[in-house]
Amino acid sequence: MGLARLLLVGFVLLVLGSRALVRGNAELEALMEIKASLDPENKVLTSWTGNGDPCGGSFDGVACNEHQKVANISLQGKGLSGKVPPAMAQLKCLSGLYLHYNYLTGEIPREISRLTELTDLYLDVNNLTGSIPSEIGSMASLQVLQLCYNQLNGTIPPQIGSLKKLSVLALQHNKLSGDIHGLANLQTLKRLVLGFNGFNGTFPVEIAKIPELQTLDVQNNSLSGFVPAALKKLERFNYQNNPGLCGSGFPSLRNCNNFDPNLHPNGVNPIVLIPRTPDVKTHCNQSHCSNPSKLPQAALVAGIVSVTVTLVGAGLLTFYRYRRGKQKIGSTADASDGRLSTDQSKDLYSRSASPLVCLEYSSGWDPLDDGRCGNGLSLQAPRYTLEEVESATQYFSEVNLLGRSTFLSVYKGILRDGTLVAIRSINVTSCKSEEVDFVNGLNLVTSLRHENLIRLRGVCCSKGRGECFLVYDFAPKGTLSQYLDLEDRSIQVLDWSTRVSIIKGIAEGIGYLHNGEGSKPAVVHQNISAEKILIDQQLNPLIMDSGLPKLLADDVIYSALKTSAAMGYMAPEYITTGRFTEKSDVFAYGVIIFQILSGKRLLSSSMRSAAECCSSENFIDSNLKGNFTEPEAAILGKIALRCTSELPDNRPTIFRVIEELNDWCVKCR
Ligand SMILES: *[C@@H]1O[C@H](CO)[C@@H](O)[C@H](O)[C@H]1NC(C)=O
Ligand SMILES: *[C@@H]1O[C@H](CO)[C@@H](O)[C@H](O)[C@H]1NC(C)=O
Ligand SMILES: *[C@@H]1O[C@H](CO)[C@@H](O)[C@H](O)[C@H]1NC(C)=O
Ligand SMILES: *[C@@H]1O[C@H](CO)[C@@H](O)[C@H](O)[C@H]1NC(C)=O
Ligand SMILES: *[C@@H]1O[C@H](CO)[C@@H](O)[C@H](O)[C@H]1NC(C)=O
Ligand SMILES: *[C@@H]1O[C@H](CO)[C@@H](O)[C@H](O)[C@H]1NC(C)=O
């Protein structure tokens, strides 16, 4: 009895105690403060709640270490529109802070420098202003500092030069100016990207002595002086658009003359010596944090590379297969492609193993890159760089995701000039495995042009991401399927004449595809459905995914067909012949006519019989409230019936349908 009471009291105390512990959780309080600052309207971080457990897995983007301390915050591309809060500094064990691709404004708080465990700081592609706080120089663990694509101004604080572990520094596309000599002290740098700023002063020749530097980008600045020839050994060195630079052996640099600075080192730009910052005592050394693993670099790299290879092996293999057949051109290019730099492998690893997505602006890889693709094929559509695609979609932010299937995702995007686009990403493992087939397919897809096909603006293929992107015009009014089965009163009911013109427009688009005259081959769409018809601002129909089967691997195409069969678009003969023909497209078109007339996605046999015996009122959408033209409805019903005939021979060609629609419209208008 006594013991039981004691146990009970003990239990109650335990419960109370643990609640007090939660209530007093400093990190939770800090997180709530951080949330209020990053997401002032509480639209994104709704999962962060004051009575929740940050380490319980329910806080979006928060990862904890084994001591239940917040170790990573990954909120890239979430549409955050607030500010980076000083309270961030209270998460003492934070090792990764990923806030890139948001709309954050304000300055980088200097308190952030108290995060002495932080290895990765990604604040790039935001709208941050002010200057880079000099205190960042005391973040002893920092390895990756990404601040590019912001509005930062001022100069690079010399203290940055004391970051002893920094391997990536990306500051491009800001408004920074001044001298960059202090950066030559960063002996661990692998990538240094400073392009598109206002850096002036002389080029720091000492940079050539950084042992493992692979990438140096200083393009579009105002640097002057002498560029050492030793920099030719870099994997990538972008120096163009600096009118004052000179050097020998670089294609677009003039030779130096006597008046160039740097050739007169007397007094000009001595190497800035930076006092070593005292080692900041780490807050996380006791029971709280495990030190970030300090495996020997080589072992780490090997591990990462092997994980990478396993995880993305399939994708890379496909790419290597693409690469075959063009080895006669540039064997050096092939060699460098086969090797993963530490940096790239880290990126790939991160992508596969954690929610973290890293930037790899430089590794945009294009199987059609001029001079590499030896087939002499040229694309009709322009090519986008990975950087443009990433920036348009805010690094494939979920807020921009329009739709996703097993092999395709579609994102909304905004190009730098403000144009709205829809970007389809196709995983390269879904593509045809032979390069020739793939490139031919891409050429076909990019050559298709018609006012009733969605316009392809350009393409981009990235080895780093293992994806190809098709950049299309954006259709603001969604897909035809959104106008079917209307229950949501916010979506407009299409009026009769609009329905007729949509039916006509789709026929014109299919007619263009099926027409094999001229240089264009006849193309069977294979997957026409209400989901594949987009509606533009003027309510014209635009067919999408035309020619896509020429790009995709066969098994991918078949798996996509299951949906179209379930929705009733698949011609009956497909089951026996297994082949798509123009007549199977006509069948699907007939189904769409019925859908447009009835306003319903799924068709019933009573609809067919109503169309057969001309009782239009029994199959026309009741949302029209009788506002339609009976004879027109009867004619369209008849066309739909013939298009969906059981036997392909009984179906009209699309050209015949177009003729009938045109004849009739001459008569009826
Ligand atoms: C934090 O992110 C890094 C980089 O992706 C990862 O290696 C590490 O395991 C993450 N830590 C936790 C606790 O999730
Ligand atoms: C960034 O801020 C400027 C004003 O400071 C504003 O004009 C611009 O639209 C902002 N850009 C974004 C992407 O929010
Ligand atoms: C940086 O920009 C801010 C406005 O965002 C301005 O107030 C400040 O003077 C600028 N600083 C420098 C060094 O140009
Ligand atoms: C660099 O630009 C700043 C401001 O734009 C100016 O004050 C400075 O004199 C320039 N330095 C050189 C070496 O031209
Ligand atoms: C880069 O510099 C070139 C030459 O000065 C200029 O034409 C181009 O517009 C610049 N690009 C950007 C993005 O500023
Ligand atoms: C950990 O911190 C304590 C003080 O909190 C200090 O005395 C000790 O030397 C530190 N240990 C390490 C390994 O840094």
Does position 35 have pLDDT exceeding 90, yes or no? yes
Q: Which residue has the tokens 């990438």?
A: 215
The per-residue pLDDT for 163 is 95
Q: Domain holding 75: CATH number?
A: 3.80.10.10
Nearest ligand, CA 218? 5
Which of 458, 474, 490 lies at the terminal end of a domain, its last residue? 474
Q: What number of other Cβ atoms are within 10 A of residue 333's Cβ?
A: 15
Residue in 161, 151, 160 with CA at minimum distance from that of residue 129: 151
Does the pLDDT of residue 85 top 70, yes or no? yes
558 vs 478, residue with greater confidence = 478
CA trace torsion 324, 328, 333, 338 (10° rounding):
30
Instruction: Report how far ligand 5's centroid is from the alpha carbon of 240 (Å).
Output: 9
Q: Calculate mean pLDDT across residues 52-68.
A: 91
Mean pLDDT to the nearest integer, 608-633: 84
What's the chain's Rg over C-alpha atoms? 31
Q: Is 663 among the domain residues?
A: yes
Closest ligand 2 atom, residue 127 Cα: 1
245-253: which pairs have CB atoms within 8 A and are 24 or more residues apart? 245/203, 253/227
**Which residues have any ligand 5 atom within 6 Å of their CB?**
196, 220, 241
Give 311 or 37, the one with higher predicted confidence: 37
Decide which of 92 and 3 is more confident.
92
Beta bridge partner(s), residue 225: 245
Residue of 216 and 21 predicted with greater confidence: 216
**Ligand 3 pocket, residue 282 CB under 6 Å:** no
Last residue of a domain, one of 413, 446, 474: 474
Residue 479 DSSP code: B
**374 and 479 co-located in one domain:** no
Type and span of the H or E element at 664: helix 654-668
The region of weakest confidence among 147-151, 259-263, 480-484 is: 259-263
Note whether 144 and 172 are same-domain residues: yes
Locate the ligand 4 atom nearest the alpha carbon of residue 178 and give its number: 1
- The CA-atom distances, in angstroms, between 350 and each of 91, 370, 428 are 22, 30, 19
Which residue has 């805010």 as its token pair? 394
- On whether both 576 and 646 belong to a single domain, the answer is yes
Tens of pLDDT, residue by residue over 152-161, are 999 999 999 9
How high is the mean pLDDT of the chain?
Answer: 77
For position 368, which CATH number holds? 3.30.200.20
Cβ–Cβ under 8 Å, residues 78 and 59: no
Give 148-192 pLDDT, tens digit per residue: 889 999 999 999 999 999 999 999 899 999 999 999 999 999 999
| Atom 9, ligand 1: residue with shortest CA distance | 354
What's residue 665's pLDDT? 56
Q: Which two tokens stand for residue 463?
A: 């080895």
Tell me the average pLDDT across 346-369. 29
Confidence band of 78 (pLDDT split at 50, 70, 90): confident
- What is the reported pLDDT for 97? 95
206 phi and psi angles, rounded to 5 deg: -65, -15
pLDDT tens per residue across span 425-468: 888 777 877 777 887 888 888 889 999 999 888 888 776 677 88
Ligand 5 center to residue 239 CA distance, Å? 12
Lowest mean pLDDT among 207-211, 324-328, 497-501, 626-630: 324-328
User: Residue 198 belongs to what H/E stretch?
Assistant: strand 198-199
The least confident of 458-467, 477-486, 542-551 is 458-467
The residue count for the chain:
669
Q: Within a domain: residue 309?
A: no
Distance 85 CA to ligand 6 centre (A): 28
Using the mean position of ligand 2's atoms as its centre, give its distance from the Cα of residue 217 in Å. 25
- Stretch 608-612: mean pLDDT, rounded? 80
- Which residue among 146, 168, 350, 354 is best mutated to probe the pocket of ligand 1, counting the most ligand atoms within 8 A of its Cβ? 354
Is residue 346 included in any domain, yes or no?
A: no
* Rounded average pLDDT over 196-206: 93
Rounded to an integer, the average pLDDT of 203-227 is 93
- For residue 219, the enclosing domain spans 62-270
Same domain for 384 and 239: no
The count of domains in the chain is 3
Same domain, 111 and 124: yes
What's the token pair of residue 533?
A: 């018809």
The closest residue, in CA terms, to atom 9 on ligand 6 is: 285
Let me know: does 455 contact 572? Beta carbons within 8 Å.
Answer: no
**pLDDT for the residue numbered 270:** 33
Identify which ligand lies nearest to the alpha carbon of 153. Answer: 3
Q: What is the pLDDT averaged over residues 37-45?
A: 93
Minimum-distance ligand 3 atom for the alpha carbon of 153: 1
Residues 418 and 560 in one domain: no
Phi, psi at 71, each rounded to 5°: -110, -35
* Atom 1, ligand 2: residue with shortest CA distance: 127
Among protein residues, the one whose CA lies closest to atom 3 of ligand 4: 178
On whether both 513 and 470 belong to a single domain, the answer is no
What predicted TM-score, i.e. pTM, was given to this entire model?
Answer: 0.53
Q: Quick check: is 427 in a domain?
A: yes
pLDDT at 134 over 90: yes
For ligand 5, the distance from its centroid to the CA atom of residue 33, given in whole angstroms, is 41
Backbone angles phi, psi at 363, to 5 degrees: -95, 20
Q: Which helix (H) or strand (E) holds 98?
A: strand 96-98
For residue 537, tell me if it sits in a domain: yes
Q: Is residue 410 a contact partner of residue 534, using CB atoms and an 8 Å limit? A: no
Q: What is the pLDDT of residue 381?
A: 61
Residues 233 and 109 grouped into a single domain = yes
What span, in angstroms and rounded, lies between the C-alpha atoms of 652 and 344? 55
Pair (139, 191) in one structural domain: yes
Query: Which one of the ligands is nearest to 130 CA?
Result: 3
- 75/189 same-domain check: yes
Nearest CA to ligand 4 atom 13: 201
What's the distance, Cα to Cα, between the start and end of the chain in Å? 96
Q: Say if residue 354's pLDDT is above 50.
A: no
CA of 157 to the centre of ligand 3 (A): 15
Single-letter amino acid code for the residue at 532: K
Q: Is 356 in the pocket of ligand 1 (CB under 6 A)?
A: yes
pLDDT of 280 > 50? The answer is: no
Residue 636 is part of a domain; what is its CATH number?
1.10.510.10
Confidence band, pLDDT 50/70/90 cuts, at residue 345: very low
pLDDT band at residue 277 using 50, 70 and 90 as cut-offs: very low
Residue 201 CB–ligand 4 contact under 6 Å: yes
Both 224 and 78 in one domain: the answer is yes
- Residue 617: how many CA atoms within 13 Å on its side-chain side? 3
In this structure, of 71-80, 221-230, 448-457, the range with the lowest mean pLDDT score is 71-80
Q: In the prediction, which pLDDT does 3 show? A: 54
User: Strand pairing partners for 145?
Assistant: 121, 169
Which pLDDT does position 258 carry in this prediction? Answer: 60
Ligand 6 lining (C-beta closer than 6 Å): 285-286
Q: Does ligand 4 have an atom closer than 6 angstroms to the CB of 200? A: yes
Candidate from 87-96, 235-244, 291-300, 326-335 with smallest mean pLDDT: 326-335
490's tokens? 């916010």
| Domain annotation covers residue 49 | no
Q: Are residues 444 and 589 in the same domain?
A: no
The domain boundary residue, chosen from 215, 238, 270: 270
Pick from 54-63, 76-85, 175-184, 397-406: least confident: 397-406
Tokens, residue 62: 């928060």
Whether 287 has a pLDDT exceeding 60, the answer reads no
**Any atom of ligand 1 within 6 Å of the Cβ of 354:** yes
Burial class (CB within 10 angstroms; exposed 0-12, middle 13-18, buried 19+) of 642: middle
Does residue 8 lie in a domain region? Answer: no
Structural domain contains residue 6: no
Q: Is 118 in the pocket of ligand 1 (CB under 6 A)?
A: no
Q: Alpha-carbon dihedral of residues 388, 391, 397, 400, nearest 10 degrees?
A: -70
| Closest to 240 (Cα-Cα) out of 249, 224, 252 | 252
